[in-house]
A and B are shown apart, each in its own frame.
Chain A
């Protein structure tokens, strides 16, 4: 049996050559009273060590559900995964046994949630909760676990960590609580961190502190990072590459600079254009018309077609795949893809 608990900290494995995480054709559905809600409809993305992938999307785009499927924390039922693969270091986690999967979660892939106050247990001290990571995964003693908790709190720069280790979550400010969440995710030195809107609940000056800390620790440990957000500003600051999601699909992928300079999907374009710019003061803001679709009734063809200024008949019938985006002369653009029949025209819009 392989259930023996290793008490020593496992040595870090050799850097993995391929992508750390490779999500392929992932589908997630929720069975509800009113029908089947298709939250994720064929998502593909991958992250390498040291790389930051930003998943950008509005509420209901499926960005968080994808992350929950990766972590294996979806409630099934009502959720189910009819198709797809989630490969971690080449191994499909969806085909693994419970125990095997559990050894990856937390230890190899950790998650940071948006709302630190509701993610921490209010009746246990933060030191106890941080120490729990070591006790549960490495069988560390209580005393040693507390020392490790203090060390972690110092890592994420919580002032007076020694004095505060026995404090309860409500005694910390929002920014400090989010640091504790980061400390908890880092505890077992994972290869990959998934951060779901890590700074959305924070004020801008605190947000800047927390994002800086996260980026610094990521570089130090050479971790992969999946940053899930709706904030175009945060993405521009930290991402290496971006996947834009809409109605459960990835509609555009691109390296960060390229995406902002030359979007190749009308939805991405619309998002970028609706940010108020200096030279537009006093003018009407560009607004994408209409509303995000109901996942129970995703429009036929391209899900964005009812809101798209470029929609033609073909968009109402056929679902566009993620086409590779190239220059006019056919030169491939690395990492770029757009799920729009008219990506070429969109790329040239300006």
Chain B
């Protein structure tokens, strides 16, 4: 894994909360993404996990430039793309594509599969000249394991798993370097999920893609990712290789999350040591001071409410425990979670 293809620096996305009808005055902000930094390497899969409301989908939208960042930088091959507009933005967007969660709503029901997959070529005609488009679309269908003769069919004629393949084919059309997958298999049946994961894996090898893989299913993320980042309430709380996160988590939230995942093995019932968190995620409009996890954390002390823990490698930890973790009391849990 060579140089970073995408560098995210201190990215912030706040949605203003306003009051009043005529003279809208800002009374606060939903801090959906609040200062996130990480690198995505070439050819790597970075998994992002976290619960609903943690800001993982907002992060994806900001990286895609579907939402403007409030502040911070997104460097694609060294160039800041977060403030680009017009032609320059269009040119760089070709390189970052997205696969969405719900294959039922992300495909236009009135367009044929050929039109859906070929639409990116309308915007970027340089990729496939007009005469070659039909052929290009059929090639893409073939690549994602669908019959190229289905080009004139409509989305409703396909099952969920097949629709997700269509979504992936559309994402591949412009030969991007990065694909952001936002919960790509969570709407699919269990027996079909594995098919789509295998397809993504195979395409990565074939085209040298970098993936950002956002999901809440921790076992699937572990299977596909080289590195994993854990988000909580707009912050990255821990990031590291899959072994560092899954076997040597040092942040209490990661530990609780891992221990709460139901294990498909009934013999684990007795041996498991679950951490049951109390309460719900606080509102991102009014996050707790200091460490955002402290209201649900069993380790929280005075210091946690005043001092924001930085995402850094804790000094005292060694070996696989020494990876970035945003906790004042970072340490590996005695009984390994899963």
Contacts and interface: CB of A to CB of B under 8 A. Distances in A.
Interface string B160-204: 011000000000000000000000000001111111011001100
B213 to A, nearest CB: 13
A184 B172 CA distance: 48
Contacts of B192: 287, 291
Nearest to B279: A159
Interface string A218-236: 0000000000001111111
Contacts of A209: 276-278
A233 B198 contact: no
A206 B189 contact: no
B189 A58 contact: yes
A271 interface: yes
A16 interface: no
Contacts of A239: 266
A135 B262 CA distance: 38
B228 to A, nearest CB: 12
A327 interface: no
B191 A271 contact: yes
A268 to B, nearest CB: 11
Interface in A178-230: 203-209, 211-212, 230
Given A205-B260, A232-B190, A236-B264, A284 B198 contact: yes
B102 to A, nearest CB: 14
A207 B260 contact: yes
A317 interface: no
A276 interface: yes
A303 interface: no
A287 B219 contact: no
Contact of B263 (A176, A233, A287): A233
A272 B264 contact: yes
B52 interface: yes
B271 interface: no
Interface string A138-161: 000000000000000000000000
A173 B52 CA distance: 11
Given A205-B257, A231-B262, A233-B262, A274 B193 contact: yes
Contacts of A256: 266
A204 B261 contact: yes
A237 interface: yes
B193 to A, nearest CB: 7
Interface string B212-239: 0000101110110000000000000000
A274 B277 CA distance: 29
A333 interface: no
B267 interface: yes
B220 A203 contact: no
A287 B194 contact: yes
Residue of A175, A237, A272 with highest tally of chain B CB at under 10 A:
A237
Contacts of A284: 198, 201-202
B195 A287 contact: yes
A204 B256 CA distance: 10
A239 B263 CA distance: 13
Nearest to B158: A291
Contact of B280 (A206, A232, A237): A206
Given A175-B280, A281-B242, A274 B190 contact: yes
Contact of A173 (B266, B267, B280): B280
Given A58-B189, A270-B191, A204 B266 contact: no
B263 A203 contact: no
Contacts of A175: 280
A292 B51 contact: no
Interface string A250-276: 000000110011000000001110111
Given A174-B52, A235-B264, 16 more contacts: A59-B189, A205-B256, A208-B260, A209-B276, A233-B264, A236-B263, A260-B264, A274-B190, A276-B219, A276-B222, A281-B223, A285-B198, A287-B195, A291-B159, A291-B192, A292-B189
- In the complex, the 10 A-B pairs of residues with the closest C-beta atoms, listed nearest first: A233-B262, A276-B223, A287-B194, A203-B51, A274-B194, A232-B264, A208-B260, A58-B189, A285-B194, A288-B191
Interface of B: 51-52, 159, 161-162, 189-195, 197-198, 201-202, 216, 218-220, 222-223, 242, 256-257, 260-269, 274, 276-278, 280-281
13 contacts: A203-B51, A208-B276, A233-B262, A233-B263, A236-B269, A237-B269, A270-B191, A274-B194, A275-B219, A276-B197, A284-B201, A285-B197, A286-B194
